[in-house]
C-alpha cells in the first residue's frame, strides 16, 4: 500500500467509498464522474502504477480484473446489451490516478 495513493486507500477501506464487490485481490466501486449510465472501476488491492508496470507475477491480477468486469456487467444487467472495458495508460493515455484500474462502462439506451 502506497500512503499517498487514493485507490490504495479505497481498496483498503480507508475511505467511505461504497464497495460494490470485493475479493482477496480486488475491489469494485462506481466512478465518481461517470461517463456512461454504468461506470465501474475494478481496482486491484496491490499497488501497481499502470499497465507499463505489470510484472511477471501479475498475470493473475490482470486476469482477475477482466473476469470481475465480466461478472459485474452481468450483475448490473448490461452484459447482453454490451459494454466497454479499458485501461488508460500514463498521462498521454488519459490516466489520472496512478494505481492501475480497469474501467467498465455501458448501459446506454
CB of 63 to ligand AMP, least distance (A): 20
The answer to whether residue 5 forms part of the interface with Zn ion (CB under 5 A) is: yes
* Residue nearest Zn ion (C-beta atom): 5
What Cα–Cα distance (Å) separates residue 65 from each residue in 17, 84, 92, 109?
19, 13, 22, 26
**What's the closest the beta carbon of residue 44 comes to ligand AMP, in angstroms?**
14
Task: Write out the three cell numbers for 65.
Answer: 480484473
Per the annotation, the verdict on 101 as an active-site residue is yes
Q: Does 90 bind Zn ion (CB under 5 A)?
A: no
Is the CB of residue 26 less than 8 Å from the CB of residue 68? yes
Residues between 21 and 80 that touch Zn ion (CB under 5 A): 47
Beta-sheet strands, E only, within 9-97: 21-22, 26-30, 38-44, 83-86
**Residues designated as active site:** 101
Interface residues toward ligand AMP, by CB under 6 A:
6, 17, 29, 31-33, 41, 88, 94-97
Amino acid at each position: 500500500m502506497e500512503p499517498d495513493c487514493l485507490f490504495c486507500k479505497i481498496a483498503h477501506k480507508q475511505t467511505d467509498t461504497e464497495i460494490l464487490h470485493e475479493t482477496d485481490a480486488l475491489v469494485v466501486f462506481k466512478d465518481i464522474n461517470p461517463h456512461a449510465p454504468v461506470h465501474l472501476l475494478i481496482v486491484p488491492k496491490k499497488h501497481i502504477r499502470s499497465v507499463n508496470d505489470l510484472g511477471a507475477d501479475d498475470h493473475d491480477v490482470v486476469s482477475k480484473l477482466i473476469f470481475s468486469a465480466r461478472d459485474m456487467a452481468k450483475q448490473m444487467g448490461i452484459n447482453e446489451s454490451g459494454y466497454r472495458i479499458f485501461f488508460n495508460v500514463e498521462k498521454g493515455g488519459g490516466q489520472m490516478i496512478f494505481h492501475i484500474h480497469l474501467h467498465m462502462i455501458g448501459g446506454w439506451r
